[in-house]
Each structure stands twice: as structure tokens, then as C-alpha cells.
Amino acid sequence: MPQNSYTSISKGREERVPAITSPELDRSVERDLAGLSRPIAASEPQTKPAATAKASIAGIFAAAVATLALLGAVNYAVDPYQQYRDATFYPARYWRPFQRYITPGLAKRPDYAVAIVGSSMLETLSNKEASLLLGGTARNLCLSGSTAFETGLVLDLALQHAPIRRAMIDLNVNSFAGAINHRAVRDPLPQYLWDDSRLNDPRYLLSFDTALRSLDILIGRRGGPEYSTDTDSPWAWTNRSAFSGKHVVDGLDPTDINHKFRQGPRTIDEMMANFDANLLTRIQAHPKVQFDLVHPPYSILAWTDFQQRKQVDVTLEFKHRVYQRVKSLPNVTVHDFQSAAVIDDLNQYTDIYHYGRGVGSWMLKGMRDGSFRVTDTNLESLLAAQREKASQADPRKIIAAYR
Amino acid sequence: MLFNSYIFIFAFLPVTLLVFFLLGHAGRLQVASAWLVLMSLVFYGWWNPVYLGLIGASMVFNYQVGVALGRRTGGSAPAQRLLALGVGADLLLLAYYKYANFFVDNWNALGGAPIGLGEIVLPLGISFFTFTQIAYLVDAYRCEAREYNPLHYALFVTYFPHLIAGPILHHSEMMPQFDKSSIYRFNVEHFTAGCVYFLMGLFKKVVIADSISAFASPVFGAAAAGGTLSAADAWGGALAYTFQLYFDFSGYSDMAVGLAMMMGVRLPLNFNSPYKATNISDFWRRWHMTLSRFLRDYLYIALGGNRRGAGRRYVNLFLTMLLGGLWHGAGWTFVIWGLMNGIGIVLVRLTPWQMPLLAARAVTFTSATILWVWFRAVSVPDAWRMTGTMLGRDGFTALLPLPEKPMLLVMTGALLFAWLVPNSQKLLERSLWTPLWRVALGVLLALSIASFEHASEFLYFNF
């Protein structure tokens, strides 16, 4: 059998090893295989005296452990995502891109009695104002783009870790689309921060990314991802959004309002499955907690969008069935802010769904007063009024009026 | 299971090695081999146990065919039929899982009677374990493979360091090692060298490659979305991917070599500073070397090599690279990428003169960078658009403004690293055993572990 010449890369010199090529080939053929012709060298362990090897491996591991210990100590002391304590020696930083890293830490605090959970529809509510109006220290734990599944997870943390007396839950219809474990945000949840195990905390404490955030705080660097230091409304986006009818209608196609928002269709079965699995089970498991289920006030243009996409019926049916599910539960109140005149005033909005802080304050007061409470007597008339409004609204006229 | 995961480094690897060496020290070598096979299957089935049956069936089938081939005279008609059966079954399996959707999509696009196969999920590492076994069958047919211990054969196929992303092993280099009793006993020198190799690969993968990916993905994403790219953006993205792929795949290979080395097993090297190559032929002698070896021994030579004249030689080279491209992925971008590499290799053979070293290296690196665009792009139009932009279709004034400073710095650093820093095997020969190096390596290990939390999947899993 012909032999091939193997160049030992690890040793930098030629050595002979058994051939693996076709027996009929001679060396001239072998050389002629252009880019595919050079044999592969097998690597060889670079043997050192055992004592040196032992000292080396011990030294490497010791240096690694020392470095990780230092990293972990700094990250634990600074705790940039506030997993162990509220920010103490520095102004808290609420990095919006890391909202799903920070929120579980906030939810696990034992120092609040009112939890606000849901999507961006309730995200801008003030903690102080909610505390005053809802009768207890409040924490706004809403997540941008939250689905019912994520809302349920946040609610779990709050109910397990804090002496919750009251929970305000957002019933944004878009959160109830899809499967019961659907998430709208592509990045995976950092589960190690959402569970109660300390064993996986090294994934937070020994992370280089966490260290970068700690370093930003320690040296006062203001660059990097966008963040807020407002403990009252950590995730409020109202100060960076324009609120006006002109802004709302900008870029809207009157014949296809949803073109800008790309919301998918919803089915009543999916929505109710989401409600039952992610919210109702938790509500039923905590009869001593007062739950306020909130239908937020979408602007009139959102209703014209529902009309265009044939989503009015499913939206109203959802409201109807949710009420039927919970009406016998004494600890649940449903509030529907949809019927208020505010939805016609696009100057209160930044897009067809999202309203400003003033509307949020008005909703809190409405909850305190019970003025938008859904009851057996007003349910059908409320829904009929909303159906009527949706069918009557003309998106061309509304958009033209604000342009 | 990923090499760069907590579960692998802090649980799977220590438990696997500890039990393996304890069994070895107790003289239970067969049990130790069986343990490694078992743990390799656990490693493979960690994500999706469904495909354990597939790899198990493939292994049993190929072993049986190999044994039957070994008992027949090489070249005889029964042996030829048996070889055709074995290789054909392997290729059919690969064709179904890897290429069926590609062919069906193209058939449907051509207007044939519509065929629907649904989504076929590609089993991890199928290309790797299929190729290693085809080589075994061919060599058994050629009477170059003896009848192996079935347990060792199972270990050869499933050996977890190489199982899902190579290197592509050859039975003749692995089986004799599994027969040696020395690999079953803990050897601190081998273990230390393996750890160092592993951690260098880990650093390349999780710190360098994953950091660079942040510069590549947005550019290719924008190209796929039909966005407009400047020449500077396109070059920046292509360069970033060029480095990402190298550090990712060579890092993985280093980890595989290191893991085996911890057990005193030598795996073939897969990379030898490919971006220092002076032409495309040279590049393929340095890049994914075990694949080049396979293509040479079982495709190029099987096609006739250079034995049928110059013209046929070039056709064979061309075909080899074309099929090599298709091996990397079921898509026209991979086919074209393979074709262009084939053209490059033929041109090198036809060129009678050589450029000065630095110029040759720069031209080769630039060519590889352009070719990687076709490897990475989602579709042919995307690749065409991006390549056109890079080559001045929109004018070279679009090269200004230069990419952002962080990108320039990272790309420059990566280029200097690839060109000037010795590769892992060379580094290992040097003074890595001084106290200062120990501390440096320890810090590298710590930084790598600290980077797990944003770690991404290895790029080569789907090839």
C-alpha cells in the first residue's frame, strides 16, 4: 500500500503515518489533487512532565475561579438588574431592552400590596398615583409586548412573593391571540431570573453582560442601552412619544389601518383559552385578592381597524365571555373604559392603541370610583354601544380631520 | 447539548470523564467504552431524543454491511452490490433529511405536479455521521478496513467530541486508539493539554465569534429584507461573517480536539490558519481539512482524479467542489458557492506564476470573503445584490463613510488575530506553561464562561 506524507502541524515536522487514500494512486496523482490533496495531520497532546501539567491545570483553574469570584462579587454588590434589592448606592437604572431581566426581581419584592400587570396599555401608570388611588403600595410590573402567558408569569411572581391585596390586570385583546404559551418577543425569557432557585443565579452573577452593566453604574457611564431612572414609572414611554391626533394618523392608510401595526387575526377560542389558562386559574386560586380586570380604551381608529379586519365580533364576544366567566367570583371586578368619550379624542393618543399619562390617571380614578364597572345590567348595552360605534366610524373622515 | 453550556461543562463532562476513568482504572475497558457510547447518545439526544433511533439504526446497518463486505473479495460482483446497497442507503437517508425539501421546492417551482413533504427537520450531525460511515464501507470494500469491535465501532460513530459538528473522523485513525488501554487511564499531561485546547476553542467561540456576529447579522438581515446597503456596509458585514465563521467553527473544532485529548485520544486537526492561505487551493488545505480529506479520498479519486487527462481532471475538481458546496447546505447559494470555489481551484492550477506572499494572501482572503457572502446569504438574489455592491456596482464612493468605529476596530483586531497570532496547535507548543500564561488562560476561561449567557448556537450544526 502506498504511503502518504503527512505534515504534523502540531510538531512542525514531517512524520509518516498510514495512508488512507486509494491504493491505485501514485504520488504524482496525490500531488495533483490541487486544493483537496494535502493530507490531514492528527494532533498530538503536547505532553509535559506530570508535575508541570498538574501545576498548570491547578493554576489555570485557580485563576479562572478567582476571576469568576471577583466578577460575581461585583455583580452581586451592584446588582444592576435589582434581583436581590432595590438600587441602593446608585440611582436605579431601568434598561428598556432588559425589561424582562429586571421585572422578575421587582416582582419578587415583598414590599407592595397592589400589582399592576399586563402589556404596554397599562405600562405608563404611575406607582405613586396607583398607590394613592388603589389603597396600597403599588408596583407597575407591566411588560411591553406582553402576552397573556407572560402576564400570568408576572402575576405568579407577585402573588408568591408579595402580600398582594389587589391586582390590576390588563385585558388588551392583542395579548390574548395565539397559543396559550405564546410570546410576542422573540428573545427567550431568562428563566433563571424568573424562578426561585438560587442555584442558577450564577447565570446572572457570573455573566459578562451583567458585569458591563455593573461597570456602567460604577463609573457613571451613561452610554449603552436606553434606560430610565424613574422609580415611579420605570417603563413609561410617554416622555419620548408625541401625543396628538396628527401624530396618530400620520402614515395611516384609511383603507388598511392595520398595515402599520400588522396585528394578526384573533379567534374567540384562542382568546378564551388564553384567559382561562393564564389568568382565570390564578384568579380562582387567590380568593382573598381583589382582581380588577381592565379593558383599556383603544382609540376610535382601533375600532375602525377591527371593523376592517372583521375583528369587532370576536373582540366583543371576548368581553362578553370574560364577564360571564368571572361574574360569580366576588373578588373580581371588570372595568371597561372603552365606552368613554376619551376614545374619540385622538389628541390623547400616540397611535391607535396607546394613550397618554392623563388617560392613565383618569383610569385609576375610574377604578377607585367604580364608574366604568361592568355589571349584569350594563353589559349588553355597553357591548351594543361599542358595536354601533365601530360600525358608524368612518376612518377616512377621522383621519382627514386630524391631518 | 452545547459545549459552551453550563450543563456540559459543569455536569456532563466531569461525570462522563470521572466514570470513564474509574472504569478504566478498574480494568473494565469494555464497560468504559460502553459508558462513553451511552453518554455520547445522551449528548446527542439532549435536544431531541427522537433521532437516537435514526443514528442507532444507521450505525447497526453500516456495521453489518461493513462486516459483510470484509468477508467478501474486494471488487467482486457481490461486494460491489453490497457496497452499492450500503452507500446507497446512506445517501438516501441524507437525501431525504437534508435535500428532499430542496428538490421538491425546485420541482414545484419548475411547474411539476405539486409535491408536498411538509417540513423535514434535519437531524443533528447527519452529514458527519453519514460521511464517516460511507468512508468505512468504501474501505471495507477495498479491504482496507478490518472487522472492528462493534462497541468500538459504535464509539467511533457516536464519540461525543465530534458527533454533531466534526471533525470528520476516519476509522483507521480512531479504531486503533480505542484499542489502546492507555486512553482509559487518567493522564494528567493529556488532560491538561486537552483542557488548554478546549478553553482556547471556547474563547474563540463564545467571546470572539459571538461578539463579531453582532456586526454580521444586521447586514445580512438587511440584505434579506431587501434593504439598501452601502459598499462599506456590505464589506463590513461580509468581513464580520468571514471572521465569525472562522472563529466559530475552528473554535468548535478546537474544543472537540481538546475534549478527546483529555482522554488521550488524538482527533485530526480541522483548521490550520486558513486566512493565511496564498491561493484558494491552499485555503482548502487549511479550512475544514477533514472534509477536504473526505472529498479527496472518496469523491475526487472515485471520479477518476487526474488519471484521465487534464480536461477530466479539471472537471473532476469542479464536480468535487460543487458537491462539496451542496454538502454544506441544500440551497442554490451553496451550489454556486461550491462552483465558484471549483472555478478558483481550477484557475490556480492553470496559473503559471505566483504572486508575492503578502499580495497572494490578501487576494485569497478577499476572494474567500466574497465567496462567504454566498455561503451566508439567504437567497441567490440577496447574495448577488450584496456581492454586486461590494464589487462596485454602485460605485466605490459608496465605500465612504467607513463603517462605525467599533466595527472597524473589531474587524482590524480579528484580521490581525487571524494573520499574526499562531493557531491553537502552535500556541500549545509555546510557553503556555509559565505562571503568567496559566493566569492568562484562567482569565480566558473565566471570560468564556461569563459569556455563556448570550451564547448562540454553533453555525455548523445544520451542515
Determine whether the interchain pair A45/B190 forms a contact, defined as Cβ–Cβ distance below 8 Å. Answer: yes
Mean pLDDT within A214-225: 85
pLDDT at position A155 is 96
**Alpha-carbon span B193 to B189, nearest angstrom:** 6
Q: Residue A36: pLDDT band by 50, 70, 90 thresholds?
A: very low
Cell of B200: 482556547
Cβ within 8 Å, pair A22-B190: no
Q: Count contacts between A and B (CB, < 8 Å).
A: 195
Of the candidates A1, A45, A208, which has its C-beta nearest B450's C-beta? A208
Higher pLDDT, A371 or B169: A371
A50 pLDDT more than 80: no
Tens of pLDDT, residue by residue over A247-256, are: 888 888 888 8
Q: What is the DSSP letter of A122?
A: S
**How much is the pLDDT for A14?**
26
Nearest-by-Cβ selection for B453 from A18, A35, A209: A209
- Are A53 and B192 in contact (CB < 8 Å)? yes
B78 min Cα distance to partner chain A (Å) = 20
Residues of chain B contacting residue A21, judged by C-beta atoms under 8 Å apart: 296-297, 301
Cβ-count burial of A242 within 10 angstroms (0-12 exposed, 13-18 middle, 19+ buried)?
exposed
Cross-chain CB nearest to A42 (options B173, B297, B349)? B173
Which residues of chain B make contact with A36, given a CB cutoff of 8 A? 284, 292-293, 295-296, 300, 317, 320
Residues B196, A60: C-beta atoms closer than 8 Å: yes
Chain A residue numbers touching B186 (CB-CB < 8 A): none
**What pLDDT was estimated at residue B404?**
65
A275 pLDDT exceeds 60?
Answer: yes
Closest to A19 (Cα-Cα) out of B41, B173, B196, B462: B173
**What is the predicted pLDDT for the residue at A39?**
38
Q: Are residues B449 and A9, on separate chains, in Cβ contact within 8 Å?
A: no
> CA-to-CA distance for B103 and B108, rounded, in angstroms?
9
What gap in Å lies between CA B169 and CA B123, rounded to an integer?
A: 19
List the single residue in A with minimal CA-CA distance to B253. A43
Tens digits of per-residue pLDDT, B243-279? Answer: 999 999 999 999 999 999 999 898 888 888 899 999 9
- Chain A residues with CB under 8 Å of B345 CB are 34-35
Q: Is A139 helix (H, G, I), strand (E, B) or coil?
A: strand
B328 in catalytic set: yes
Across the interface, do B293 and A62 touch by the CB < 8 Å criterion? no
In angstroms, the separation between the Cα of residue B125 and the nearest Cα of chain A is: 21
| CA–CA dist B396, B95 (Å, integer) | 43
Asked if pLDDT for residue A28 goes beyond 70, the answer is no
Q: Does the structure show a pLDDT above 50 at A18?
A: no
Closest chain B C-alpha to A34 CA, distance in angstroms: 6
Could you say which residues of chain B have pLDDT below 50?
455-463
ipTM strictly over 0.85?
Answer: no
Query: In 3D, which of B370, B37, B74 has the Cα closest to residue B235?
Result: B370
Mutate to test the interface with A, among B5, B6, B297 (most CBs of A within 10 A): B297
Residue A343: CB atoms within 10 A of its CB come to: 24
pLDDT at B401: 56
B217 touches chain A (CB under 8 A): no
Predicted pLDDT at A40? 44
Q: Which residue of B has its CA nearest to A206?
A: B450
- C-alpha cell read off for A165: 391585596
Q: What pLDDT sits at residue B403?
A: 60
Phi, psi angles (nearest 5°) of residue B429: -75, -20
Q: Look at residue A13 and tell me whether its pLDDT is greater than 70.
A: no
Residues of B in contact with A67 (CB under 8 A): 442-443, 446-447
Judged by DSSP in three states, A153 sits in helix
Q: What is the pLDDT of residue A19?
A: 28
In this predicted model, what pLDDT tens digit does every residue of A56-78 receive, in sequence order?
889 999 999 999 999 999 999 99
Contact at CB, B189 and A47, closer than 8 angstroms:
yes
Q: Enter the pTM of the model.
A: 0.78
- Which residues pair with residue A140 across a beta bridge? A116
Cα angle, residue A297 at apex, residues A293 and A302 outer, rounded to 5°: 125
Nearest chain B CA: its distance from A76 CA (Å): 14
Confidence of residue A8 (pLDDT cuts 50, 70, 90): very low
Catalytic residue chosen out of the listed positions B152, B162, B171, B328:
B328
Q: Decide: helix, strand or coil at residue A298.
A: coil
Provide, as residue numbers in chain A, all residues whose Cβ is less than 8 Å from the Cβ of B13: none
- According to the model, what pLDDT value does residue A139 have? 95
Are A33 and B305 inside 8 Å of each other by CB?
Answer: yes
Selected residue of B453, B454, B456, B457 to mutate for chain A interface (largest A Cβ count, 10 A): B453
Q: What does the pLDDT average to over A311-326?
A: 94
Using a CB–CB cutoff of 8 Å, tell me whether B290 touches chain A. Answer: yes
Nearest Cα to A339, choosing from A305, A312, A307, A373? A373
